[in-house]
Structure 1
């Protein structure tokens, strides 16, 4: 019986096939979604999550690019975390990474976040709209965009902007994007929160290191009496301490930004610096974002970084930006930063490398940001020198006293006051550092000795604490005599000492331990009018790859325990 003889049966078969195909499609979608959820749950950090989301958004039909921005930790700015554009804009992607959009600015992206509702955007309709979205769409050659909030209930934590070169974003792509954001929103919120915590922790860790450079710079700036001196110091500071070849300072003059000083770090780069000086000798930037990257940095009070200028040569840019690139010939990395006074931009700093691209470390970013925040105030102080001269001298004296006190406290905090050896904190910090050093070159061994003065409590009870202190001081001296120059000797606590022996295996450490034991046993210690025999017990261990500092110390302590319980005045290993 064929379809012609039984049309009803044929229709039923076709309906069943359709149902089967739809079921298979739903099953396939469920499998893909399950796999995506697994990948989301296993993502270790925010960057990994963003890469997952980037991959899915980039695959949407009719979408030519996208931007993802999340709220910063203070919820004052939208920060661009990811940007995907067509291949011809590859060189500009890193420039927009971490670019901030203040929430108090009028901008369609900010409006989408604050109102927590989607917003379609068409370039043709944004000509007179506030903000910089229209400028960005035009530069990226996009005709339309669709801004979606990344929402957690009634509040949004960020936005995703779909970009297209068509008249509108296709509805199927829009629906798929909304579903993706629904899956990613909670993991993104948690990952962003964790990243904010890590960033704050890193800021605290860098603060101490940045303090010394900052205080020195402040003290030196406070000695200057003219803006020209300030410009010279700024240039010297950045050329001496950072890997840049040209440093430029621009300040506001009415509604324009003018180049005040451009300095080269090497004689070989002076010709390039002179060419750029000539270009800007009668030229300035209008305070308009369309006039170039420099006024954009000033107006947005946010830096821009171009890792390699070769990658942006073919991109759209203002005539003045292109002219400055041509004047420099073949510049590489370019960093443009706002000079601030009381958190408001008062000028712009150029940092340019000519020989090769450079990578910015987190520490460099921290220090440079501090310096830029101080430079504006320093320039204002120089202009008002006659009225603040006495205050300047007091500040200089205070800074010098503070620096001396910081150094004094640092030295005190690192030393045991009785023996002059490093203290427990010094040992812990050095142990972590040398373990990391050893992990990079594990062939040479790293060993630890714990030395305990035998029957020290009985000694104190018999001869008094003053005699006990003398024994501890003499013990410290003998331990240092037995150690090598590269070894670290610290007071571990009470009558215990610790020796950290780099480039030393177990056999070598045992030999050092025996030398220490003999130096104590062979020569009596002074105790008032008599000399008293003092012995030590020594525990020894060699570091095992991957075990960590706590396990390393514990094994050494176990060896010391065996030495004490085996009769004392001996060396044991673990």
Structure 2
């Protein structure tokens, strides 16, 4: 015997159809569980986009703990910890946990929330063998064990919600991927702008100045020097002071470096040592090690600087190979460099190497810019593909439920604005006895029929018409600039063409019929009123014997 009356089932399904977001659907599910009164609380945990975790998307704790609900909403539950949710997902079976069979961790949860029993139900259809659950519904009870008949009622509710929950969850995952791809495009554009700015400087000196100015803004160093390998020597490119008061010592120091390029011998200077080892070096306070032996070239250089404190030296890299070094010096105060600072400086050294090389090799610069732009175009194409995927039914290639609602809302606004001068019709198509067809021929053959029907519909509709798969075996046609006469003619053409032909399926050639209900826009109609009339017309077609077209 059915656990829910036909009237109650119809009410719930009608409410499910009217949900416009996943949150709305979860609120409705929660309300139905509350109405059953079988437990003191519940959690709805849904699989995330990675498939490795469940995320708590809906929660209701027992009364004394309800002020903590917002704290636990969004909590991620790993699927490899062997606990209640993980076991339910793995076995696809209802799992009961009480003080007599709970693990240590589960006992802690029971005691903390003052719960006597937790019952976890997989969010899947019992007859769908081999299909992974999309999540877990956990019932929390502070009293005695929840009766089996009560759990059966909850399962009946889950069965009604499952298809819509699955679709909305997939859509939310696609929207997340869309957002990530959009963010990647934006980040790539920012990188492209930075590289374009650097590459626009054809003077290496200007690159040094721009680079040093940026570092001085971020870190309190007083001098910067840039050296490149040329003719088997490490030669000074430029020395730059952060403030005017350091310019005299900077000029003297740069003059000395120009007069004495360093041989590529690691014992000649710390700068050469960093270059050849391709590793950065930091001296937190040079004054503390000034008494130690120094390489010959460094003695004179550092004596000019006099009060050098913090020294940072890192390779300038191009294509991951050192082509020079840049160094930062503080002359008055120590500079504390965090791991994040060192990480940033390491990345900037590669950017600097690229900018220097590009200023000398313009052709290389252009190739790199084109490559980055190509990457940007690829990411934009992925965003477009994700957007299409988020609005398209994968089996039929038609618009999906979400896209149907968006298109219908737009055309309703246009019809309302025109004062009903622009006719608009809506037709619902349903395959007759489709469940019987699937039971007889298998779901794979049913999928072949759905795809073939979508193709047949496309042969008869205009480019401006919007064909959508509403769900299951139901299709919807949004027909702009189409009145009563045009709608019935189109519906009859589609119905008669389906009746007259056979379709190739994996079970062989099969025939089907369809029923069609349609209606036309009336002033004051919204999405729900227009759809409900078309749905009632479809119901009339079914009740009148199927394989026919009815209007309302």
Assess same fold via TM > 0.5. no
TM class by shorter chain equals 0.3 to 0.5
Normalised by the length of structure 2, the TM-score is 0.36
Normalised by the length of structure 1, the TM-score is 0.34
